[in-house]
Amino acid sequence: AQSVTQLDSHVSVSEGTPVLLRCNYSSSYSPSLFWYVQHPNKGLQLLLKYTSAATLVKGINGFEAEFKKSETSFHLTKPSAHMSDAAEYFCVVSDGRGSTLGRLYFGRGTQLTVWP
């Protein structure tokens, strides 16, 4: 079964400091992993996705995530936070690669607050 655990429900950082949002996953298959962001009263936007290529994945707006199979982790990082990064972030795992299904399994989300 597929599942993700986001280890922090809230993260607060100052503008210009690094961001780390932690995610552990569980998957019965070779996983596809994603980070989505949801700004207030907005839909979900894809930040980045990991399939099977490079373990360090670069996304939009300076975010990146590293797939670590040995640790079953897929943490999201950004070197320098910006006020516009304040939002809710979801770590997501899908049905495994090669599956004919494409269900997404969402973590509970991490609310990122950025202080000026």
Residues that bind another protein (CB under 8 A): 32, 34, 36, 42-46, 49, 90, 94-95, 97-109
> In a 10 Å sphere around its CB, with 0-12 CB exposed, 13-18 middle and 19+ buried, how is residue 47 labelled?
buried
- Minimum distance from residue 44 beta carbon to another protein (Å): 4
Nearer to another protein, 46 or 115 (CB): 46
CA-to-CA dists, residue 96 to 13, 27, 31, 50, 92, angstroms: 34, 8, 5, 12, 12
- Minimum distance from residue 77 beta carbon to another protein (Å): 21
Q: Token pair of 15, please?
A: 């503008």
Nearer to another protein, 34 or 63 (CB): 34
Nearer to another protein, 36 or 74 (CB): 36
